[in-house]
Amino acid sequence: MAKNNNKKGFTIIEVVLVLAIAGLIFLMVFIALPAMQRAQRDTQRRDQLSGMMTQITQYQANNRNKIPETQKDWNDFITNYMKAGGDTFEDPNGNEYTVKMVPCDATSGKGDCANSAQRNSTDFNTQNYEILVVVGSTCDGEKTVANSGTRKVSIVYKLEGGGTYCSNN
């Protein structure tokens, strides 16, 4: 009489293989998740800065097409336009933005105004939530370039995921 050794179940190799595949899937998710979250926060920042540009246009409509001229004027603009009605003007991480006005030398006609301002600003980074308002400039991709129009302004923000966001009126 012969014994039948047909046992049902998985071999150790099959179990290890399934666990290895599952581990790789979890690893890919945990690597991709922070990058997706950074991209989502950067999208929120772009939307907020587009809203700021809309408010600058509104300010110009209310003030004979002028833009705020001093740092104090920009601070008042943030209070009266960006925070009007109890709104907040915060980064997606919950930290309040700071706005720094930087004039652009329109006589040179070359160079990146915001980039030179960034080099002169030790705190221009995503940790300090600083928005550069470059007066007398327009955007050329991520760069700002001098524009002879005194009513032109660019807003520049360094994004968490890399690169710089630039928008102008």
Q: Is residue 6 part of a domain?
A: no
Q: Is residue 1 part of a domain?
A: no
Instruction: Using alpha carbons, list the distances in angstroms from residue 43 to 51, 52, 60, 143.
Output: 12, 14, 26, 19
Q: Is residue 3 part of a domain?
A: no
Give pLDDT, residue 4: 63
User: Along the 169 residues of the chain, how does pLDDT read in single tens digits?
Assistant: 556 667 778 899 999 999 999 999 999 988 899 989 999 999 999 999 999 999 999 999 999 999 998 899 999 999 999 998 888 889 898 889 989 888 776 544 455 676 655 544 444 554 568 899 988 888 888 888 887 666 888 899 988 888 889 999 8
Number of domains forming the structure of the chain:
1
Which of left, alpha, beta for 9 (phi over 0: left; psi -120 to 50: alpha)?
left
N-to-C CA span, the chain = 93
Give pLDDT, residue 69: 87
The beta strands (E) that lie in 32-161 are given as 98-103, 130-135, 137-140, 143-146, 153-158
145: containing domain: 12-168
Taking the model in full, what pTM does it have?
0.73
For 147-159, the pLDDT digits (tens) are: 766 688 889 998 8
Residue 145: CB partners within 8 Å, gap ≥ 6?
110, 111, 112, 113, 137, 138, 139
List, in sequence order, every residue forming a beta bridge with 166; answer none if it has no partner: 156
